[in-house]
Amino acid sequence: MLGIGLALAPLGAFLAVSEKFELLPVLLGFIVLLWVSGFDIIYALQDEEFDHQNKLHSVPSLLGKQKALWVSNFLHLLCAVLLLYTAYLGDFGGWYWAGAFIFVGLLIYQHRLVSYDDLSKVNLAFFTTNGVASVIFAAFVLLELFV
């Protein structure tokens, strides 16, 4: 649900400013949806037992930690593919591509930090890596747009 809510932001902002509907903002919305959903699953791994005991239907409680990480990996893979496709479709230049590759690299790093049997680095993966990834990507997009 968090991913859906945040995914609507780029689309809504574009519609509000441009008053027209285009594919690129829809793709950006899907990128946000996949990114947030993937990292939210990683964060939810910590609550898998509690969720299962209390009949909460989180991805980790339904699938277990290992399969939940597979789902997160898949969502982030789709996110990366769409991010790079958006660069191609939008005919973006080097700044966007560099930011996209750094972002994807940080997604990969995030997944290397966490395993189903070692959740000790979830906060580093969730808070730090995602915070750094979003700020870096935003900076590169701004460079693309204004330099």
User: Phi then psi for 117, rounded to 5 degrees?
Assistant: -105, 5
Give whole-number Cα distances, 26 to 12, 19, 122, 128, in Å.
10, 14, 30, 27
Q: What is the average pLDDT score of the chain?
A: 94
Percent of the chain with pLDDT over 90: 89
Domain boundaries, the chain: 2-146
pTM, two decimal places:
0.92
pLDDT score for 123: 92
**Which bin fits 94, alpha (ψ -120 to 50), beta or left (φ > 0)?**
alpha
Dihedral of CA atoms 96, 100, 106, 108 in degrees, nearest 10, equals: -170
Contact 41, 71 (CB under 8 A): yes
Which two three-digit tokens encode residue 18?
A: 């441009």
* Architecture per CATH, 2-146: Up-down Bundle (1.20)
**Which bin fits 55, alpha (ψ -120 to 50), beta or left (φ > 0)?**
left
74-124: pLDDT as tens digits: 999 999 999 999 999 999 999 999 999 999 999 999 999 999 999 999 999
The dihedral of CA 111, 113, 117, 120: what is its sign? negative
Q: For residue 11, name the pLDDT band (cuts at 50, 70, 90).
A: confident
